[in-house]
A and B are shown apart, each in its own frame.
Chain A
Amino acid sequence: MALFSNTATLLSKELRTEFRSRELLTTTSVFILIVLVLFSFATNPGTEEARQFAPGLLWLAILFASSLMFQSCFLREQVNDTLSSLRLAVSDPFAIFLAKLIANTLFLLLTEALMLPFFAIFYNISLWSKLPALSLVLLLGSVGIAVAGTAISAISAQARMRELLLPLLLLPLLTPVLVVSATVTGSLLDRDPVVQWKGIAFLGVFDVVFLTALWIFGQYFLEE
């Protein structure tokens, strides 16, 4: 189907562009690290209270990092007006969004993977046994963040003060992801770990709702 082949072509472009420069990945990873370290100065890691806060702080760090990461998503298409040439070339404009949100999800997951070891060390938490379930939460949460982030990035790229506007629009929208992901991660990392399937299902619902909304309305974001 044309949508999938276009998406695959565009996805390889997104990945190639990013891996050639690696600007986004490096800056985002360093940023999350800085945020985690700052959190540890603000709280008192190693104490029991800090361990309880840790999952929430992890997801806060991911959210903040994502609101930086998505800035360039559509801005880089404005440099040479490649957005216009893409719109001319693809058969379904949703392919542009789909490719970007898959790429953004991958970048987020990569950044999280790079940062998890540090998180485990700072907060003295063992992650190995919980890795499969943790990966699922990270995946579903990151997809939700990426879908909303890609959509909002398309909006803020067309407004003034876009660096400030993007987090302003995105973060309230992602409240459910923060609440549920932090809670599910927390109960996973508890002394008696529990997998909250209801929460995982909820994240899935969030992802489906926004993905569907983006599929229906995506073309209008790019109109002139």
Chain B
Amino acid sequence: MSTLALPPTGLRFENIDKRYGGLFALRRVSLEIAPGECVVLAGRNGSGKTTLLRIAARIVSPTAGKLSFPGAVGDSAAGRPGYVAHTTMVYDELTAEENLVLFASLQDVPNPTARAEELLREVNLFERRDSVVRTFSRGMRQRIAIARALIHRPSVLLFDEPATGLDPLGISWLAKTLGDVNRSGCTVVMSLHGESEVSALATRAVQLDAGAVVADTKTGASLRSILSFGGA
């Protein structure tokens, strides 16, 4: 995988609250993630994983608390995290290449077309670069989404349930890709259900329940029990 644009960055959540009306999606979540870690967020549906990732991606603003990226240099587009979620977040009516060039241009990536092609090759979509994304299969959609997220060589990659809907081949490819990304220095935070090749990449796991952190391998909990929502 390509090198990072900027030095490695960590993530720091300080007392993050997120309220929707009267409901707390996240309650006083404090978490420090070091540069280069590969962290798995586990928890039931509705435990706040998606919200936490969207806050980290700066798409959602917290009701209270502070988010920072220790080690981040400056405020350029390259410093922003890459984010992959359930949808591709690209345009169905545009081709794979057009989509990547679009996002590369927006984020001031030098030589957007070359970078787009480079990434298309890395995710094995180069042959389909002139096809509109609407024609893509689930696995291909996953790959274009990852390409979009990595286009600006982020120092942090956020991944919301990456393995959903993938066949075993897809999961293997995903595990390899995420492993490569992490090894190149990128901090990876991903939410997962259960054990798989992907969860095996984790250097750390954190369990969320009802919007709060209830277990952390850093403080002694076991990875296995976190992944099965067992708590500390």
Contacts and interface: CB of A to CB of B under 8 A. Distances in A.
B175 to A, nearest CB: 24
A47 interface: no
Given A87-B59, A88-B80, A224-B59, A82 B89 contact: yes
A81 B94 contact: no
Q: In the complex, which of the residues A80, A82, A84, A88 has the most CB atoms of chain B within 10 Å of its own CB atom? A: A88
Given A16-B94, A81-B87, A85-B89, A91 B105 contact: no
Contacts of B27: none
B89 A90 contact: no
Contacts of A6: 106
A88 B58 contact: yes
Nearest to B102: A13
Nearest to A81: B87
A8 to B, nearest CB: 9
A82 B103 CA distance: 11
Given A9-B102, A85-B103, A89-B103, A224 B54 contact: yes
B93 A21 contact: yes
A74 to B, nearest CB: 14
A1 B102 CA distance: 17
Contacts of B91: 13, 17, 80, 82
A85 B77 contact: no
A13 B94 CA distance: 9
A223 interface: yes
A10 B105 CA distance: 9
B94 A84 contact: no
A20 interface: yes
B103 to A, nearest CB: 5
A84 to B, nearest CB: 5
A84 B102 contact: no
A85 B82 CA distance: 9
Contacts of A87: 59
A79 interface: yes
B172 interface: no
Contacts of A85: 83, 89-90, 103, 148
Contacts of A21: 93
Contacts of A16: 94, 98
Contacts, number: 61
Interface string B44-57: 00000000001001
Nearest to B108: A2
Q: In the complex, which of the residues A2, A13, A20 has the most CB atoms of chain B within 10 Å of its own CB atom? A: A13
Interface string A150-192: 0000000000000000000000000000000000000000000
Contacts of A10: 106
A89 B94 contact: no
Contacts of A88: 57-59, 80, 83
A17 B58 CA distance: 27
A17 B98 CA distance: 11
B60 interface: yes
Contacts of A17: 91, 93-94
A80 B88 contact: yes
Nearest to B54: A224
Contacts of B77: 89, 91
Contact of A20 (B88, B89, B93, B108): B93
Contacts of A91: 77
B61 interface: yes
Contact of B60 (A20, A80, A224): A224
B113 interface: no
Interface string A58-94: 0000000000000000000001111011111111000
Q: In the complex, which of the residues B58, B59, B61, B94 has the most CB atoms of chain A within 10 Å of its own CB atom? A: B59
Q: In the complex, which of the residues A6, A80, A81, A87 has the most CB atoms of chain B within 10 Å of its own CB atom? A: A80
Interface in B17-73: 54, 57-61
B89 A80 contact: yes
Interface string A34-67: 0000000000000000000000000000000000
10 contacts: A2-B108, A9-B106, A13-B91, A17-B91, A17-B93, A17-B94, A21-B93, A79-B87, A84-B83, A87-B59
